Amino acid sequence: MPDPPSGYEAEADDQRWMRRALEEAAVAGELGEVPVGAVIVRAGELLAAGHNLTHTLGDPTAHAEAVAIRRAAQASGHWRLLGCTLYVTLEPCAMCAGAIVLSRMPRLVLARLIRKPACVARWPIWCAIPS
């Protein structure tokens, strides 16, 4: 496991919530989707969860992070997801990175970076846990 970059500050529940995101990824895999999962947590509580649904919904924007962000905005009643942390099992694509910025979430925890040129490899918060 690589060392996290400077700036990463682990929180006590990071691994717990990443395991929950991995459960979402498994659900996506069972559906024949690319197995990516995401959860959004605020004040130690699960606000929303999502997994890839692009094939299921026929929606090219139904990535795990986008699904979770939409659900979190609905659950919270506001599009600004201040005070939230997004846990995602794979580094977000350009679309999802933009959605994360627009949602104002201050913290992102990743399980894994992709090897090709990436969007958020230099995001200030990053985490890796054993799978």
CB atoms near residue 60 (< 10 Å): 9
- Tell the smallest beta-carbon distance from residue 1 to Zn ion (Å): 24
- Tell the smallest beta-carbon distance from residue 33 to Zn ion (Å): 12
Identity of the residue, 95 or 114, whose beta carbon is nearer to Zn ion in the bound complex:
95
Measure the CA–CA gap between 91 and 82, rounded to whole angstroms.
Answer: 21
23 is catalytic: no
104 beta partners? none
Structure tokens at 65: 């992070």
Query: DSSP string spanning 31-76?
Result: TTS---EEEEEETTEEEEEEE--HHHHT-TT--HHHHHHHHHHHHH
The interface with Zn ion within residues 67-126 (CB under 5 A) comprises: 93, 95-96
Closest residue by Cα to residue 82 from 101, 67, 103, 66:
103
Number of residues forming the site for Zn ion (CB under 5 A): 4
Identity of the residue, 26 or 93, whose beta carbon is nearer to Zn ion in the bound complex:
93
The interface with Zn ion within residues 17-76 (CB under 5 A) comprises: 63
Identity of the residue, 18 or 90, whose beta carbon is nearer to Zn ion in the bound complex:
90
Identity of the residue, 58 or 77, whose beta carbon is nearer to Zn ion in the bound complex:
58
Candidate list 24, 33, 65, 91, residue with the active-site label: 65
> Mind telling me the catalytic residues?
65
**Where on the chain is the footprint of Zn ion (CB under 5 A)?**
63, 93, 95-96
